[in-house]
């Protein structure tokens, strides 16, 4: 999957792309943006600019498969583009790389198709039909399990089943849209009856989002050896969680109102092709763990089905802002801490015949690392609110407070390749109305 588009020597005539932490020419993520006063349309992030795909199509810069793919990626949602699959995506990527490369003969014509990203609004890149959230971050599952069951943190199904539940697609918003603190029913441990009011234990969850590309028909499971081909791209996902509401409502059917009030995603679809240099073998299972059942086992998937991506959570509070201090890093984790691969998630999801559709979104579940500096939720970082996070401003946080902004970032790095990022996934907590 590695080709000339990954060449580390490749530079762009869009000067801000060279050395850009997220969007060098080796990335080329797709999204939907609206220029000031304009209609939403498909675009490609390059440095601090956005290439307007319909504008570039209109001046005849694409042919053949690349043209078809660019057309599918030009509208106000990219579901048509997601349905295409790897071959079409590669054609478009290859042509975009040519057009945006330093020596491109088309640069004068293309300049008119660029917008300053700072002057555009990013939209959700697709109409999300369904959203499913998994629980494959084994350190998170263990940390949270310990708070409830110190001796037996992981339930016996965890190492056989990629655990998940159906989430809510309607409340997913792109980075930058604030989140309103939810009200809900909760019962403090010492109380005999629940009360109803603003959540007191609001939390973030650091997750990777997976965009489904070509889906499957109802009743037609996706085999493990074809599952990675059904991924259309990746994003960051903050699965906001109200822990007090969750603790009271989750038995016996799992999360409901504690999770469905909001989820925030980074707005760019980072393609599987862009992430090819950062693929790694699925880390071996600890001694004594069962092997995956045969329907979830594929050698190629075990060899290259995991991703080496740094994942970061930052917190910017009103106190830090008032003092001109930078955001506080709450966690540095890595996508390699997933017990199941993305292909295993997809195969398991469809193993009963359930159909996935282009533009469906999967969450991996919170991806914590093995130590206290890599906790993907504040529930873990503060041990259930017991040990507050202390900030340079003098503020403390047991859980999130109104005015707090949570920022997620992801970065792929590998010797011999240009690092790429996802763009930010950020949102500020607004008070309950």
Q: Point out the residues that are catalytic.
A: 140
Q: By CB under 5 A, is residue 203 in contact with Ca ion?
A: no
Among the listed residues 362, 419, 31, the one whose alpha carbon sits nearest the alpha carbon of residue 208: 362
Q: Which stretch binds Ca ion (CB under 5 A): 39-47, 192-200, 234-242, 272-280?
A: 234-242
Task: State which of residues 22, 52, 130, 239 lies at the interface with Ca ion (CB under 5 A).
Answer: 239
Give the tokens for residue 69. Answer: 């793919």
- CB nearer Ca ion, residue 246 or residue 350: 246
Question: Which is it for the CA torsion 135, 312, 30, 41, positive or negative?
Answer: positive
380 binds Ca ion (CB under 5 A): no
Per-residue contact flags (x/-) with Ca ion for residues 77 to 116, judged by CB under 5 A? ----------------------------------------
- Please choose, from the candidates 395, 396, 406, 401, the residue with its C-alpha nearest in 3D space to the C-alpha of residue 428: 406
E-state strands within 147-243: 164-166, 172-174, 179-180, 183-186, 195-198, 202-203, 206-212, 231-238, 241-242
User: Which CB sits closer to Ca ion, 50 or 367?
Assistant: 367
Retrieve residue 271's tokens: 């393609």
Round to whole Å and give the CA distance between 422 and 411. 7
Asked whether position 133 contacts Ca ion by CB under 5 A, the answer is yes
Nearest approach, Cβ of 293 to Ca ion (angstroms)?
24
Tell me the pairing of strands 405-412 and 425-430.
antiparallel
Stated as kind and residue range, the H or E segment containing 348 is helix 342-350
Which of these ranges, 72-80, 105-113, 203-211, 283-291, lies near Ca ion under the rule CB under 5 A?
A: 203-211
- Smaller CB distance to Ca ion: residue 65 or 173? 173
Instruction: Identify which of residues 40 and 369 has a Cβ nearer to Ca ion in the complex.
Output: 369
Minimum CB–partner distance for residue 155 and Ca ion (Å): 16
Minimum CB separation of residue 165 from Ca ion in Å reads 9
Among left, alpha and beta (phi > 0; psi -120 to 50; other), residue 58 is alpha
Using DSSP, state whether 4 is helix, strand or coil.
helix
The piece of 14-22, 202-210, 225-233, 293-301 that touches Ca ion (CB under 5 A) is 202-210
Nearer to Ca ion by C-beta: 229 or 254?
254
Find the residue with minimal CB distance to Ca ion.
239
- Residue 190 and residue 396: Cα distance in Å, rounded? 24
Cβ at position 311, least distance to Ca ion in Å: 14
How many CA atoms lie less than 13 Å away from 353 in the CB half-sphere? 2
Figure out which of the listed residues 205, 249, 404, 405 binds Ca ion, where binding follows CB under 5 A.
Answer: 205
Q: Cα(100)–Cα(220) distance, rounded to whole angstroms?
A: 40
Which residues contribute to the site for Ca ion (CB under 5 A)?
Answer: 133, 205, 239
């Amino acid at each position: 999957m590695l080709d000339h588009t990954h060449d580390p020597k490749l530079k762009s005539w869009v000067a801000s792309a060279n050395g850009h932490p997220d969007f060098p020419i080796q990335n080329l993520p797709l999204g939907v943006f609206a220029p000031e006063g304009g209609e939403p349309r498909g675009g490609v992030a390059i440095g601090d600019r956005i290439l307007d795909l319909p504008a570039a199509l209109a001046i005849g810069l694409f042919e053949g498969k690349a043209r078809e793919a660019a057309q599918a990626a030009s509208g106000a949602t990219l579901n048509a583009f997601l349905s295409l699959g790897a071959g079409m995506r590669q054609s478009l990527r290859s042509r975009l790389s040519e057009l945006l490369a330093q020596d491109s003969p088309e640069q004068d014509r293309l300049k008119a198709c660029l917008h300053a990203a700072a002057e555009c609004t990013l939209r959700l890149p697709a109409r999300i039909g369904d959203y499913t959230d998994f629980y494959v971050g084994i350190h998170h599952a263990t940390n949270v399990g310990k708070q409830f069951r110190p001796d037996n943190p992981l339930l016996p199904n965890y190492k056989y089943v990629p655990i998940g539940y159906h989430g809510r697609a309607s409340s997913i918003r792109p980075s930058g849209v604030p989140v309103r603190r939810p009200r809900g029913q909760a019962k403090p441990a010492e109380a005999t009856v629940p009360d109803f009011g603003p959540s007191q234990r609001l939390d973030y969850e650091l997750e990777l989002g997976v965009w489904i590309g070509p889906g499957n028909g109802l009743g037609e499971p996706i085999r493990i050896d074809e599952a990675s081909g059904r991924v259309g791209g990746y994003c960051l996902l903050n699965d906001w969680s109200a822990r007090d509401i969750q603790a009271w409502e989750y038995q016996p059917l799992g999360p409901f109102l504690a999770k469905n009030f909001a989820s925030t995603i980074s707005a760019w679809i980072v393609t599987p092709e862009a992430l090819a240099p950062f693929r790694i073998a699925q880390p071996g299972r600890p001694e004594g763990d069962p092997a995956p059942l045969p329907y979830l086992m594929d050698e190629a998937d075990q060899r290259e089905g995991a991703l080496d991506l740094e994942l970061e959570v930052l917190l910017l509070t009103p106190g830090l802002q008032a003092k001109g201090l930078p955001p506080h890093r709450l966690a540095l984790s890595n996508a390699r801490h997933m017990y199941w691969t993305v292909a295993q998630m997809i195969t398991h999801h469809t193993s009963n015949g359930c159909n996935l559709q282009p533009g469906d979104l999967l969450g991996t579940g919170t991806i914590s690392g093995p130590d206290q500096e890599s906790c993907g939720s504040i529930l873990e970082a503060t041990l259930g609110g017991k040990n507050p996070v202390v900030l340079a401003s003098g503020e403390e946080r047991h859980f999130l407070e109104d005015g707090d902004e949570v920022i997620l970032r992801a970065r792929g790095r590998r010797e011999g390749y240009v690092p790429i990022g996802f763009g930010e996934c950020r949102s500020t907590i607004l008070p309950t109305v």
